[in-house]
Structure 1
Amino acid sequence: MKAHPQLTLLALVMALTLSACSKPAQPETETDAVSSLALVSQDILTIATSELSKGPMISGTLQPVIKAELNAEVGGIVTRVLKDNGDLVKAGEVLVQLDQTTFRDKLLSAQEAERSAHVASDQAAKQLKRMQQLNRQNLVTAEVLETAEIKANQTQSDLASAKARTVEARQQLERTEVRAPFDGVVAVRKVSSGDTAQIGKSLMVIINPESMRFEGYIAADQVGSIKVGSAVSFKVNGYPGRRFDGEIERINPQANEQTRQVQVFVKLREQASFVAGLYAEGFISVEQQQSVMLSPASLINEGDLQFVWLLKDNKLVKTQVETGAKDPRFGTVQVVSGLTVGQQILRHPQGALKDGISVTIGSEPTVASKAAEQTQSVSGK
């Protein structure tokens, strides 16, 4: 009897399934794991000492030492604004023009009054001179002479008052032109043409960007550890990857009433094209010492314990270390114990490493070391 083709195929599939299920799973052996690790010199860090600085943290802003807020000294309508934010200005240059009509009329009136007072004073002086001559000839009485003297003195006083009013009117006219007090840059423009400027109204703020300093605050309990001349290292928001240096120029003798922090003024060692008002933070160096310093990327954290991968006899040895202070300049960590100068460790341990694994050091950078170098260059370490 001939077998049915579909039944034959079904029997074959069932036989193959049973055969597959009957085969035991092959366990992974240690020979399948990595038995050695290939490294290059860039992966290795030789332990050496470097400077560890300690001191209080400081935070604040960059502010110009030379700064002027220009206010209206006379009232009037703003007719022209000649400079805008960011424009360079020269000392004496006109920045804002107020309407001069009223003050020009006042000056003309004061000048006319001065001329009239001058004529009256001259006539009174001549009259007094004649009366003095006639009095010596006994042609006029002493009372007439005294009247002439009083008239001459009065006209002299009127002339002095007229001159003062002229000077005042001229000064008011000049104050309608608001000028730059020094070479600098317009930081804030506060008016536009057509605005009404009352006396005392703020018109512009001018700064000298080459006079920047770091105005920061420190905790009150740290003020006893700093002094004028102490070195300061800080970074500025907007300038990533860069650190700047300065030294304490002055210490405010009075703490802030709200925060009770102490203000510190830091003179920059070199000026840069800073923008005023940017936030800055750093630390004041009051103590330096030589110590073994490591980047946090070289450390392995396991709970409260920290380890490094030490190269010993061409093998990796997981070694526990004790860490101490952190250098706020570079973010490096002090190693108190567990390592000695001259030993070598993995610079950037990555992946699942095995204690006791063999190590070979080649000359070409591995993919891991290239990635680590790129990360290091981006972080600015």
Structure 2
Amino acid sequence: MSRQTLIVIAIASALAGLTACGNAPQDTQKASASASASVAKGEAKTGPEKLIIASEDVLNLQNNALASGPVVTGSIQPERKADLRAEVSTVVLQVLKENGEAVKRGDVIVRLDETSIRDNLNSANDAARNAALALDQVERNLQRLKTLRASGMTSMQALDDAEVRRNAAQSEVSAAKARAVQAQQQLQRTIVRAPFDGVVSERKVSAGDTALAGKELVKVVDPSSMRFVGRVSADKIGLVKIGQAVSFRINGYANQEFRGKVTRLDPAANDVTRQVEVLVAFADSKQPRVSGLYAEGNIESETVSALMLPEAAIVKSGDKSFAWRVQGKTLNKVELALGSRDVRTGNYEVRRGVVAGDVIMRNPNSSLKDGQLVEMANTGATKTALANTTLAMKD
């Protein structure tokens, strides 16, 4: 083959290679364009799905009563309580009840040593019997002198002296009987009994202790008579009236809200704190059985109408609050301006962002999208959804 022929073949091969290289990018571009179209189509299909909601999932925003008033703080205290003290000076013999034990009226709680007191009672009884015998003898002597005086055999002075002795003996009998009764009462006071049905709240003595007269032995309270003993600032006392409702919470019962009403106002403010004591009775039988617990609440001195939302319907994001509102067939996220919280219900006052009549999602979750389509569920839609679910499970 000549040199000229080889040159022609080399040029032809180079041209063929260039042609092949030029066609490859075009095919790649077509493939890329096709893939992009497929992705876009898939993304359009996997956008926010239509949200089907039931009537239980939403609430219609309405005006409700918002109660407000002075803050009241204090503690839970029993109305019926008794500090049982020793009425005689003696030694504690036995303590029959411990703290927290229930007692019935008349139950023996503490026994005191009665030895010396019983001796005093026996002596008083003996003295009373002797005084009675002495009176009987003086009385017989007086009757004898009266008989002798009638026959003129004794003087008037002797008769008068006999009457004086009779009167003195009568006085001694009365005094001896009084001492015996007093000794009997002292003996009875060596047994300390429960004054009413209740619970022993504080035991102050043990067996062997010396109990002087006036020493505190035990405390008994009636747990069914608990009440809220609160205090209100003096500058707010003008807003408080007897019979007003009170809502409050008690330490140890954080998830419970208690209701009551004002039953009494102290006529004088505290000399140190300048607060006024307020007594609040529980509105129902739902009350704690433990005294001394801290409590805080509000006296509902005034009530206004306001838009109220439950806490579960409010979404917090930093310092901002939002709610999900259903408008027509669209779900919108709206920013709220919240006011005060109703301590009775836990709902929040809404000052801006929604209006009365708006439909709000009751318990929104993080999967909701602003602008998402919504549809209220009905019987037909529910059946269709169930049928589709069944077919999908079969497939």
TM bin (shorter chain):
0.7 to 0.9
CA gap of 1:82–1:256, structure 2 versus 1, over 3 A, is: same
Cα deviation code 1:206-229 (max 9, x no counterpart): 111111111111222221112111
Instruction: Answer yes or no: is 1:294 the counterpart of 2:297.
Output: no
Higher helix share: 2
Once the two structures are overlaid, the 10-residue window that deviates more, 237-246 or 61-70, is 237-246
Instruction: Answer yes or no: is 1:331 the counterpart of 2:318.
Output: no
1:134 aligned to which of 131, 145, 148? 148
Distance (whole Å) between structure 2 residues aligned to residue 245 and residue 176 of structure 1: 43
**Cα RMSD, aligned residues only:** 2.8
Distance (whole Å) between structure 2 residues aligned to residue 198 and residue 355 of structure 1: 79
Which position in structure 2 is the counterpart of 1:374?
Answer: none
Equivalent residue letter for 2:137: Q
1:142 CA displacement: 2.1
Cα deviation code 1:159-199 (max 9, x no counterpart): 11111111111111110011111122211122121111111
Asked whether the equivalents of residues 53 and 374 of structure 2 are also in contact (C-alpha less than 8 Å), the reply is no
So what's the TM-score if we normalise by structure 2? 0.77
Which position in structure 1 is the counterpart of 2:278?
Answer: 264
Asked whether the equivalents of residues 48 and 369 of structure 2 are also in contact (C-alpha less than 8 Å), the reply is no
So what's the TM-score if we normalise by structure 1? 0.79
Asked whether the equivalents of residues 36 and 360 of structure 1 are also in contact (C-alpha less than 8 Å), the reply is no
Distance (whole Å) between structure 2 residues aligned to residue 237 and residue 195 of structure 1: 36
Once the two structures are overlaid, the 10-residue window that deviates more, 316-325 or 55-64, is 316-325
Cα deviation code 1:61-120 (max 9, x no counterpart): 211111111000001111111111222222222111011110111111111011111111
Distance (whole Å) between structure 2 residues aligned to residue 83 and residue 230 of structure 1: 40
1:49 aligned to which of 45, 54, 63? 63
Distance (whole Å) between structure 1 residues aligned to residue 47 and residue 244 of structure 2: 53
CA gap of 1:304–1:183, structure 2 versus 1, over 3 A, is: closer
1:147 aligned to which of 161, 172, 188? 161
Which position in structure 1 is the counterpart of 2:327?
Answer: 312
CA gap of 1:341–1:86, structure 2 versus 1, over 3 A, is: same
Which position in structure 2 is the counterpart of 1:373?
Answer: none
Equivalent residue letter for 1:73: E
State percent identity of aligned pairs: 42
Distance (whole Å) between structure 1 residues aligned to residue 357 and residue 338 of structure 2: 18
Once the two structures are overlaid, the 10-residue window that deviates more, 101-110 or 183-192, is 183-192
Which position in structure 1 is the counterpart of 2:13?
Answer: none
Equivalent residue letter for 2:291: A
Q: Secondary structure at the match of 1:258?
A: coil
Distance (whole Å) between structure 2 residues aligned to residue 91 and residue 310 of structure 1: 62
Which position in structure 2 is the counterpart of 1:185?
Answer: 199
1:237 CA displacement: 2.3
Distance (whole Å) between structure 1 residues aligned to residue 333 and residue 106 of structure 2: 71
Once the two structures are overlaid, the 10-residue window that deviates more, 326-335 or 353-362, is 353-362
Asked whether the equivalents of residues 51 and 372 of structure 2 are also in contact (C-alpha less than 8 Å), the reply is no
Q: Gaps (5+ residues) in structure 2?
A: 1-35, 379-395
Once the two structures are overlaid, the 10-residue window that deviates more, 80-89 or 335-344, is 335-344
Equivalent residue letter for 1:69: D
Instruction: Answer yes or no: is 1:60 the counterpart of 2:69.
Output: no
Instruction: Answer yes or no: is 1:69 the counterpart of 2:79.
Output: no
Asked whether the equivalents of residues 38 and 359 of structure 1 are also in contact (C-alpha less than 8 Å), the reply is yes
The total of aligned residue pairs comes to 337
1:44 CA displacement: 3.6
Which position in structure 2 is the counterpart of 1:276?
Answer: 291
Once the two structures are overlaid, the 10-residue window that deviates more, 276-285 or 345-354, is 345-354
